[in-house]
Amino acid sequence: MSRSKEFDETEVLDKAMQLFWEQGYEKTSMTDLVKHMGIHRRSLYDTFGDKHTLFLMALDRYDNTSVSFSFKRS
């Protein structure tokens, strides 16, 4: 039986997006991400995969939120 997640995926993805924005991909370590996102390392890997996959998901999230924001302002 799998455990339910103790965090909101969108919320922690937003935190990863913010950290990548501030530090850049190369300077952001997995330890930085774990601390900033407030989740366990195992949860990060289980939910988002590796750093590269998380980065791509953060870019996609940024793209979706910035487009959504643009439409709301119009």
The single-letter DSSP state of residue 38 is T
CA distances, 28 to each of 4, 5, 39, 51, 73 (Å): 28, 24, 16, 9, 32
Please report the pLDDT score of residue 64 as a whole number. Answer: 86
Q: Which residues contact 3 (CB under 8 A, 6 or more apart)?
A: none
pLDDT of 65 over the 60 cut: yes
Residue 54, Cβ neighbours under 10 Å: how many? 23
Residue type, position 42, single letter: R
- The answer to whether the beta carbons of residues 14 and 61 sit under 8 Å apart is yes
Structure tokens at 42: 């195992």
Mean pLDDT of 57-72: 76
The domains located in the chain, with CATH, are 9-73 (1.10.10.60)
Whole-structure pTM value: 0.81
pLDDT tens column, 15-58 = 999 999 999 999 999 999 999 999 999 999 999 999 999 999 99
pLDDT for 5 equals 72
Quote the tokens at residue 62: 């940024």
